[in-house]
C-alpha cells in the first residue's frame, strides 16, 4: 500500500468519528430545539395576556414614563384558547395631576404634606372598583390618628424599582416641598432596574413598549411589549355574550401571536447558539438568549455602585426633607408571615439603609392577620390590593407614622434643621 493511501486511510479514521460526533450533536441539538419549541408553544397557549383600549402611558426621558393626565381606559385580561374568554374587565383612570388615585387638592401650608413614591402596589392603574390605591385612604387614616389634617400626593408608578422611586422623589420634592417623603416598596422592587416606557408607532401599529434604553420610539432590540393595545376592547364588548365576543377574541389572539414572536423563538431557528450546551453546562437552556424584559434587573447587590442613585440621595439630603422607607409585604409574604428575601436582596436592603441613613420600616410585625387575608387582594385575577386591602395597608402605614406626624403638628414650613429619621419597631430583614 502506498504512503498516500495510508495517509488517506488514517485521515478517514480520524475524520469519521469527528464527523459522526458532529452529526450526533447536531441531531441532539435539533431534537432539543424541537422539544423547546413545542414547550414554548404549549406554555404560550396556556397563558393569559393583558389588553387596554387606550394608553395611560407617555414617554419621559427623565423619569422613564409618566401617566397621561385625565386618561381613561379599559383594562382586560384575556385567557388563551379557542376562542378564549374574558377573565376580567376593569375600568381605569388617571387623575388631573397625572397620578393614580383620588386627586388631593388640599396641599396647603397648614396641612402635613406627604409625597408618596412606589410601584403598582401603590399605583395600580385599574381594578374592579377603578384605580383605587391605599394612598386614597391614607389622608383620612393618618389625620384621624395624628389629629391633624394630612394631604397626600401619590407619585407611585407601576413597574418602578427603588432607583426610579428616589429619582422621581427628588424631582417632585423640589416642586412640592413636602413635610415627608414616603418611599413605599415591595421586595421585588429592590432588584428592578431603570426602564423607559412609551406608546410608540412601530410598523404603522401603536404599541405600549418597555425598553432598557432611552429613545422614543425605542430601539426594538432592547424593547418588549408591556401590554397589548386594541381600541376594540371596550366595556360594552366585555359584557357581550361569549359567542358575540368571538370575532374580536380571535383578532386579539392573532395580534398576540404576532407581537409575542419572541427572540427565543427566532433563536431556535438559527444555529447562533447551543441551547443543549447551555442546559448541560449552565443549567438553563435560555442562558445565552437575550430577551428584553418588562421588568429589567440590576446586576449588583450594593446601591453604592449606582452613581445616579447616590446623587439622588444626596439631593434629598440637601433638601432636608424627612424620609421614611416602608417595606410593604405582598400577598405571598402576608401569607408566610415574613419577608421573602434572598441574600442578594438582604445586601441591597443593608446598603439602602446605609446610604440613606434611614432604617426601613417593616410592616409585618404590625400586622394583625385578618381571618380571610385573600380578601385583601384581587385574587384569583391579580395579586395587587383590593379596595379592602388598600384601606388595610393605609391603616398599617398610618399607625406606623402616627407618632411622628403628631410630633410635627404645627411645625410645617421651610425646613432648616437636619433630617429627622423615623423610628421603627423592627428591621425588614429581621
Q: List, for residues 147-192, the tens digit of each pLDDT value.
A: 999 999 999 999 999 999 999 999 999 999 999 999 999 999 999 9
In the chain, how many domains are there?
3
Percent of the chain at pLDDT exceeding 90? 65
110 and 86 share one domain: no
- Does the structure show a pLDDT above 90 at 97? yes
Instruction: Please check whether residue 248 lies inside any domain of the structure.
Output: yes
112-118/64-67 β-pairing = unpaired
DSSP three-state, residue 405: helix
389 or 83: whose pLDDT is higher? 389
CB 143 within 8 A of CB 114: no
Q: What is the mean pLDDT of residues 344-350?
A: 97
- Does the structure show a pLDDT above 70 at 266? no
71 and 160 share one domain: no
**Cβ of 55: how many Cβ atoms within 10 Å?**
19
353-397 per-position pLDDT tens digit: 999 999 999 998 766 666 677 899 999 989 999 999 999 999 999
Instruction: Please check whether residue 177 lies inside any domain of the structure.
Output: yes
Instruction: Please check whether residue 426 lies inside any domain of the structure.
Output: no
- Does the structure show a pLDDT above 70 at 245? yes
162 and 39 share one domain: no
69 and 106 share one domain: no
32 and 100 share one domain: no
CB 148 within 8 A of CB 114: no
Instruction: Please check whether residue 79 lies inside any domain of the structure.
Output: yes
Percent of the chain at pLDDT exceeding 70? 80
188 and 302 share one domain: yes
66 and 121 share one domain: no
Q: What is the reported pLDDT for 64? A: 98
Q: What is the CATH number of the domain that holds 358?
A: 3.40.50.1110
Range name among 28-32, 309-313, 382-386 with the lowest pLDDT average: 28-32
100 and 179 share one domain: yes
Q: What is the mean pLDDT of residues 301-327?
A: 97
Instruction: Please check whether residue 140 lies inside any domain of the structure.
Output: yes
| Dist CA 48 CA 305 (whole Å) | 37
188 and 310 share one domain: yes
370-380 per-position pLDDT tens digit: 667 789 999 99
Highest average pLDDT, of 43-52, 221-230, 268-277, comes from 221-230
Q: Which are the contacts of 299, defined by CB distance < 8 A and separation ≥ 6?
A: none
Burial class (CB in 10 A: 0-12, 13-18, 19+), 393: buried
DSSP three-state, residue 92: strand
189 and 301 share one domain: yes
pLDDT category of residue 32 using cuts at 50, 70 and 90: low
pLDDT category of residue 292 using cuts at 50, 70 and 90: confident
Instruction: Please check whether residue 412 lies inside any domain of the structure.
Output: no
Range name among 20-24, 156-160, 315-319 with the lowest pLDDT average: 20-24
Q: What is the pTM of this model?
A: 0.84
* Containing structural domain, residue 201: 49-94+196-261
Q: Which of 252, 286, 320 is the last residue of a domain?
A: 286
351 and 202 share one domain: no
Instruction: Please check whether residue 417 lies inside any domain of the structure.
Output: no
135 and 173 share one domain: yes
Instruction: Please check whether residue 58 lies inside any domain of the structure.
Output: yes
Name the phi and psi angles at 360, rounded to 5. Answer: -80, 135
Amino acid at each position: 500500500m502506498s504512503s498516500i493511501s495510508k495517509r488517506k486511510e488514517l485521515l478517514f479514521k480520524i475524520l469519521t468519528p469527528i464527523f459522526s460526533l458532529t452529526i450526533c450533536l447536531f441531531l441532539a441539538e435539533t431534537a432539543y430545539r424541537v422539544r423547546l419549541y413545542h414547550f414554548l408553544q404549549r406554555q404560550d397557549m396556556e397563558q393569559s395576556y393583558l389588553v387596554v383600549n387606550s394608553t395611560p402611558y407617555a414617554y419621559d426621558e427623565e423619569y422613564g414614563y409618566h401617566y397621561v393626565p385625565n386618561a381613561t381606559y379599559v383594562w382586560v385580561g384575556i385567557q388563551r384558547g379557542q376562542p378564549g374568554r374574558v377573565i376580567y374587565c376593569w375600568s381605569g383612570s388617571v387623575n388631573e395631576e397625572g397620578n393614580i388615585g383620588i386627586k388631593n387638592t388640599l396641599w396647603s401650608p397648614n396641612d402635613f404634606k406627604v409625597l408618596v413614591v412606589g410601584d403598582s402596589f401603590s399605583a395600580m392603574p385599574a381594578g374592579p372598583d377603578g384605580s383605587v390605591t391605599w394612598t386614597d385612604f391614607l389622608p383620612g387614616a393618618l389625620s384621624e390618628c395624628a389629629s391633624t389634617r394630612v394631604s397626600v400626593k401619590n407619585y407611585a408608578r407601576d413597574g418602578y424599582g427603588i432607583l426610579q422611586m428616589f429619582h422621581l422623589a427628588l424631582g417632585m420634592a423640589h416642586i412640592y416641598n413636602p413635610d415627608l417623603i414616603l418611599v413605599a416598596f415591595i421586595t421585588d422592587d429592590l432588584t428592578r432596574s431603570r426602564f423607559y416606557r412609551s406608546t410608540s408607532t412601530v410598523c404603522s401599529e401603536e404599541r405600549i413598549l418597555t425598553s432598557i434604553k432611552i429613545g422614543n420610539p425605542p430601539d426594538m432590540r432592547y424593547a418588549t411589549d408591556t401590554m397589548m393595545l386594541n381600541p376594540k376592547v371596550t366595556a360594552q364588548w366585555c359584557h357581550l355574550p361569549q359567542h358575540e365576543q368571538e370575532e374580536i377574541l380571535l383578532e386579539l389572539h392573532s395580534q398576540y401571536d404576532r407581537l409575542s414572536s419572541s427572540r427565543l423563538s427566532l433563536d431556535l431557528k438559527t444555529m447562533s447558539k447551543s441551547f443543549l450546551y447551555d442546559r448541560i453546562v449552565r443549567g438553563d437552556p435560555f442562558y445565552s438568549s437575550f430577551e428584553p424584559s418588562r421588568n429589567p434587573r440590576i446586576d449588583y447587590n450594593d446601591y453604592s455602585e449606582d452613581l445616579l442613585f447616590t446623587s439622588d440621595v444626596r439631593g434629598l439630603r440637601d433638601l432636608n426633607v424627612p424620609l421614611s422607607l416602608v417595606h410593604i409585604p405582598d400577598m405571598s409574604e402576608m401569607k408566610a408571615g415574613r419577608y421573602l428575601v434572598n441574600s442578594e436582596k438582604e445586601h441591597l436592603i443593608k446598603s439602602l439603609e446605609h446610604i440613606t441613613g434611614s432604617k426601613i420600616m417593616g410592616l409585618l410585625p404590625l400586622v394583625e392577620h385578618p381571618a380571610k387575608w385573600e380578601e385583601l387582594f384581587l385574587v384569583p385575577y391579580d395579586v395587587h390590593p383590593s379596595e379592602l386591602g388598600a384601606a388595610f395597608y393605609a391603616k398599617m402605614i398610618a399607625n406606623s407614622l402616627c407618632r411622628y406626624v403628631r410630633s410635627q403638628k404645627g411645625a410645617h414650613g421651610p425646613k432648616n434643621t437636619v433630617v429627622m429619621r423615623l423610628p421603627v419597631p423592627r428591621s425588614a430583614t429581621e
